[in-house]
Amino acid sequence: MTTYSGKSVFGGIAIGKLCVWQKKESRIRRVRIEDPDEEMERFERAKKEAAAQLKDLYDKALREVGEVNAAIFEIHQMMLEDGDYNESVENIVRTQRVNAEYAVASTADNFAGMFAEMEDDYMKARAADVRDISERLIAVLSGTGSPVTVSDEPVIIVADDLAPSETVQLDKDKVLAFVTVHGSPNSHTAILARTMGIPALIGTDIPLERQMDGKPAVVDGAGGCVYVEPDEDFLDKMREKQREELDRKEMLQTLKGKESVTVDGKKVLLYANIGSLRDLSAAMENDAEGIGLFRSEFLYLESEDFPTEEEQFLVYKTAAETMAGKRVIIRTLDIGADKKCDYFGLEPEENPALGLRGIRICLTRTEVFKTQLRALFRASAFGKIAVMYPMIISVEEVRRIKELAEEARRELAAEGTPFGMPEQGIMIETPAAVMMSRELAKEVDFFSIGTNDLTQYTLAIDRQNPRLDAFYDPRHPAVLRMIAMTAANAHLENTWVGICGELAADTELTEAFLKMGIDELSVSPGSILPLRKKVRETKLSGS
C-alpha cells in the first residue's frame, strides 16, 4: 500500500478504483470545411470505431458485471445508428459546412436537452446516454482517445487540477471522490466537491501516471490521505470507518423536519448552495429550508454558447417549482476570475480576480444580462424566486441594475408575457459594499455576505493561489467585523441578511453569527443538518 497526502476539502471515506483524468483539449471548435462529403465519410469511420469500442466494452462488462449491467453498451451501439441523430449531424455538416465534431456536439446538446425535459424518468435518463455516445464519437474524431467514463462503475477521479467547467460536467453518480495534485480549498472546484458531498483532496502528492488507472484505493477525505492498493486488514478498518460515518449521517436524519432554532428561541433560516438543477435533490434530501445561492454561472459554463432566454427560463422555473414555495435565491451570472467561458471572448487579464467579473460583465454586456433578467422574472411567476447580484461596490451600480430590471419587466409587460416581482438583493463580498452597506440596504430587499470573496478582497489574498492557503483566513477579525457591520446596517434599514460563503458552515462561528443577528445561513447541502444540530444546541442568552 502506498499513502499520499493532501489537503482536505470534504470529509468522508471513499473506496474504489482510481481513474486518472485526462484533460480534454479545450472546447470543441467550430471549423468551416470545404468538402461535406469527405466530412461525412470521416463521421462514418468514427462511428465504426466507436461501435467497435462499445462492442469491446459490452464483452468486458458481460464477463465482469453480467448481462443486465452490460446491456447499456448494447443500447449505446443502437443509439449510434439512430436515424434522427444521424440526420441531425448530417444536416449540420452540410448546411452549415462545419466539422463533424461540432455537428455531433450540437446534436448532442439538442437531443440531450429534449430528453431531459421529458416527463418519463426512463426517457430523461437517455439524455446522459446521448451525451455519452457523442463524447465517444468526438473523442474518436479528434483523436483524443475514449472519454473518461468508459465504465459504469463509479471511480475516484485523480487529476492535476479540475476547472469548474470540467467538474460540473462530470456525471456525479460515477464519481466517488476527487483527488487533485493542485488546486485551492477556496476555489470553485472545491466548492463544487462540497456541494456534491463527496470526499475530496487537493494538493496531493500522487503521481498522475497511466499505471495508476484502475488501481484500488481508499480516500480518507477528513484525514487528507489517499491509500493506493490497500491490504485487506486496512480495507476492513476503512470499511468500519465508513459504517461509522453512515451511522452519524443516520443520526443527523432525525433532525429532518425540525426547526432551526436555538435553545432560547432564535430562529435562523438554513438554506442550500447549489450550482445546477442536479443539486436540488441533495438540497431537498438534506431538508434545506430554501436555496440561498444558485450559482447561475454554471449554466453558462456547461454550455457551448450563450444559454437562450427559453433555456434559462426552464431551469429557473424548474428550480422554483421543485422547491415548492420555498425561497430560491438565484444569483445572476458571476463569471470571470477562475470561471472562464470561452464564448464570451473576454481578453486575458493581468489580475483576473480584480478584473472584469460578475456584475461588471453584466453591466457592460447588457444584452446578455437582460436575457437572464427576463428569464428570471418570467420564472418567478412560478414560485418564490429572489434575484441576487454579485460583486457590488456602489449604490450607482445597484440603481443601474434596477433600471435594467425595470426595462426587462416593461418589455415583458408590453409583449403580454407573464412575469413575477421577485425580491432583489445583493451580495456583500467587497469591502466597498460593507462600507456602503447602510446606503445599499435602502436600495434592496436583502443582503447575502459572500465570505469567500470578502476574505480575498479584505486580506488582499488571491483565493485561488494554493501557496497562500496558510494566509487565507476567513475567521480573521477584520472579516468578522465586516460581517457584524453589514448585519447591523442591514437591520437599521429593515433589510434581512444572510451569509452564503463557505464560512457560513463553520459551526465554531454559528453562535457569533446568530449574536450578530444573521437571519439566514446558506451552505452546501451536506452541511445543513450538522449546522441545524449546532443551532439547536446553541443558547444565546446569558453567555
Minimum distance of ligand PEP from residue 484's CB (angstroms): 17
Minimum distance of ligand PEP from residue 450's CB (angstroms): 3
Binding mask 482-521 for ligand PEP (x = CB under 6 A): ------------------xx--------------------
Nearer to Mg ion, 39 or 338 (CB): 338
Minimum distance of Mg ion from residue 331's CB (angstroms): 9
Residue 269: which of ligand PEP, Mg ion, none does it interact with, CB under 5 to 8 A by kind?
A: none
Distance CA 425, CA 447 (A): 6
Work out the burial of residue 360: count CB atoms within 10 Å of its CB; fewer than 13 is exposed, 13-18 middle, 19 or more buried.
middle
Selection from 166, 174, 130, 179 nearest residue 25 by Cα: 166
Residue 441: which of Mg ion, ligand PEP, none does it interact with, CB under 5 to 8 A by kind?
A: none
Q: Out of 453, 502, 506, 520, point to the residue binding Mg ion (CB under 5 A).
A: 453
Residue 80 C-beta-side C-alpha neighbours within 13 Å: 24
Cell numbers for 105, please give them.
Answer: 456536439
Catalytic, out of 188, 225, 341, 491: 188
Three-point CA angle 192, 197, 199, nearest 5°: 95
Nearer to ligand PEP, 397 or 453 (CB): 453
Residue nearest Mg ion, Cβ-based? 453
Phi and psi of 191, rounded to 5°?
-60, -40
Size of the site for ligand PEP (CB under 6 A): 11
Minimum distance of Mg ion from residue 188's CB (angstroms): 9
**Cβ atoms of residues 376 and 387 within 8 Å:** yes
Minimum distance of ligand PEP from residue 130's CB (angstroms): 30
**Cβ atoms of residues 421 and 413 within 8 Å:** no
Nearer to Mg ion, 47 or 295 (CB): 295
Query: What is the residue whose three cell numbers read 500500500?
Result: 1
**Phi-psi domain of 66 (left: phi exceeds 0; alpha: psi -120 through 50; beta: other):** left
Selection from 42, 527, 519, 81 nearest residue 274 by Cα: 527
**Which residues in 483-497 are b (16+ Cβ under 10 Å) and which e?**
bbbbbebbeeeebbb
Q: Residue count of the chain, please give it.
A: 543
225 is a catalytic site residue: no
Nearer to Mg ion, 109 or 429 (CB): 429
Residue 206: which of Mg ion, ligand PEP, none does it interact with, CB under 5 to 8 A by kind?
A: none
Q: Which stretch binds Mg ion (CB under 5 A): 18-26, 315-323, 346-354, 429-437?
A: 429-437
Distance CA 468, CA 480 (A): 20
> How many angstroms from the chain centroid is the CA of residue 467?
24
Binding mask 60-79 for ligand PEP (x = CB under 6 A): --------------------
Query: What is the residue whose three cell numbers read 447541502?
Result: 525
Selection from 74, 31, 45 nearest residue 143 by Cα: 45
Minimum distance of ligand PEP from residue 172's CB (angstroms): 19
Q: Out of 203, 224, 450, 525, point to the residue binding Mg ion (CB under 5 A).
A: 450
- Footprint of ligand PEP on 308-337 (CB under 6 A): 334
Minimum distance of ligand PEP from residue 433's CB (angstroms): 11
Minimum distance of ligand PEP from residue 364's CB (angstroms): 19
Cell numbers for 535, please give them.
Answer: 443551532
Nearer to ligand PEP, 224 or 450 (CB): 450
Query: What is the residue whose three cell numbers read 447561475?
Result: 296
188 is a catalytic site residue: yes
Distance CA 422, CA 439 (A): 21
Nearer to Mg ion, 453 or 519 (CB): 453
Residue 295: which of Mg ion, ligand PEP, none does it interact with, CB under 5 to 8 A by kind?
A: ligand PEP
Work out the burial of residue 62: count CB atoms within 10 Å of its CB; fewer than 13 is exposed, 13-18 middle, 19 or more buried.
middle
Distance CA 519, CA 227 (A): 42
Minimum distance of ligand PEP from residue 170's CB (angstroms): 19
Minimum distance of Mg ion from residue 453's CB (angstroms): 4
Distance CA 178, CA 176 (A): 7
- Is 429 a binder of ligand PEP (CB under 6 A)? yes
Phi and psi of 175, rounded to 5°?
-115, 120
- Beta-sheet pairing, 225-228 with 269-274: unpaired
Nearer to ligand PEP, 134 or 180 (CB): 180
Catalytic, out of 19, 341, 362, 500: 500
Radius of gyration of the chain (CA): 24
- Footprint of ligand PEP on 441-470 (CB under 6 A): 450-453
Q: Out of 47, 76, 136, 295, point to the residue binding ligand PEP (CB under 6 A).
A: 295
Any idea what DSSP says for residue 497? E
- Is 498 a binder of Mg ion (CB under 5 A)? no
Nearer to ligand PEP, 273 or 489 (CB): 273
Three-point CA angle 233, 180, 355, nearest 5°: 155
- Is 527 a binder of ligand PEP (CB under 6 A)? no
Q: Out of 338, 429, 502, 520, point to the residue binding Mg ion (CB under 5 A).
A: 429
Size of the site for Mg ion (CB under 5 A): 3
Distance CA 294, CA 234 (A): 40
Binding mask 179-198 for ligand PEP (x = CB under 6 A): ------------x-------
Binding site for Mg ion (CB under 5 A): 429, 450, 453
Binding site for ligand PEP (CB under 6 A): 191, 293, 295, 334, 429, 450-453, 500-501
Active-site residue list: 188, 500
